[in-house]
């Protein structure tokens, strides 16, 4: 007897243990950007690793795509309450970036910086050990511009505002410094499973 999905609701046929509290599933891929969408050509793109104010290493696009490329399929959860299962990404893990720069665990926190002036803070523990990457491809294609192309941070286990689009650098910091949305009322960490949406959640 078939009992799953008989209402025709998309969420009715999905494993609910993959949908955090307060979230619903979408099939499309909504675009959420605070300001205008920047146009960054790969030839003009670079990525800088800093420890505090000190630049450690800078990669051009051609240098960056020569780093080991890793595939990751993950569920993503936006604080505006949509979740999307099994999104497929390809890019360079933060572990491989740190290894290429010859640094190991520079400090407990980091800020991602972006071409549009956006920033967001993520602890090192949530970036390392294969948990996050700088994604260059989505579903096998170059990352679309409105989703952060040519490159975005992907931290799939935290709310999606942590996945900074048009990323151009990672800065390691001693203290957990709030980024763009964290300064504007969003949670400093943003765990969807604990519903850490706003500052005091």
Ligand X SMILES: Nc1nc2c(c(=O)[nH]1)N[C@H]1C(S)=C(S)[C@@H](COP(=O)(O)O)O[C@H]1N2
Nearer to Mo ion, 32 or 183 (CB): 32
Nearer to ligand X, 165 or 197 (CB): 165
Task: Please tell me whether residue 89 binds ligand X under the rule CB under 6 A.
Answer: no
Contacts with Mo ion, 105-144, as mask; x by CB under 5 A: ----------------------------------------
Task: Please tell me whether residue 11 binds ligand X under the rule CB under 6 A.
Answer: no
| Phi, psi (deg, nearest 5) at residue 131 | -85, -20
Task: Please tell me whether residue 155 binds ligand X under the rule CB under 6 A.
Answer: no
**Contact positions with ligand X (CB under 6 A) in 18-57:** 30-34
Task: Please tell me whether residue 182 binds ligand X under the rule CB under 6 A.
Answer: no
**Residues contributing to the site for ligand X (CB under 6 A):** 30-34, 78, 114, 116, 118, 147-148, 160-161, 163-166
């Amino acid at each position: 007897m078939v009992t799953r999905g008989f209402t025709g609701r998309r969420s009715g046929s999905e494993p609910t243990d993959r949908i955090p509290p307060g979230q619903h599933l979408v099939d499309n891929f909504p675009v959420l950007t605070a300001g205008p969408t920047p146009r960054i050509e790969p030839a003009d793109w670079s990525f800088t690793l800093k420890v505090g104010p000190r630049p450690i290493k800078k990669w051009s696009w051609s240098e960056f795509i020569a780093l080991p490329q890793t595939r990751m399929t993950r569920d993503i959860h936006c604080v505006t309450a949509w979740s999307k299962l099994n999104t497929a990404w390809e890019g360079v893990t933060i572990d491989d970036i740190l290894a290429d720069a010859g640094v190991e665990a520079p400090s407990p926190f980091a800020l991602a910086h972006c071409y549009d002036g956006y920033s967001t803070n993520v602890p090192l523990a949530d970036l390392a050990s294969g948990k996050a990457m700088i994604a260059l491809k989505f579903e096998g294609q170059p990352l679309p511009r409105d989703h952060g192309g040519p490159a975005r941070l992907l931290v799939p286990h935290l709310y999606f505002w942590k996945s900074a689009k048009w990323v151009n650098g990672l800065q390691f910091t001693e203290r957990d410094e709030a980024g763009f949305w964290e300064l504007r009322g969003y949670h400093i960490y943003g765990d969807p499973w604990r519903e850490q949406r706003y500052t005091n959640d």
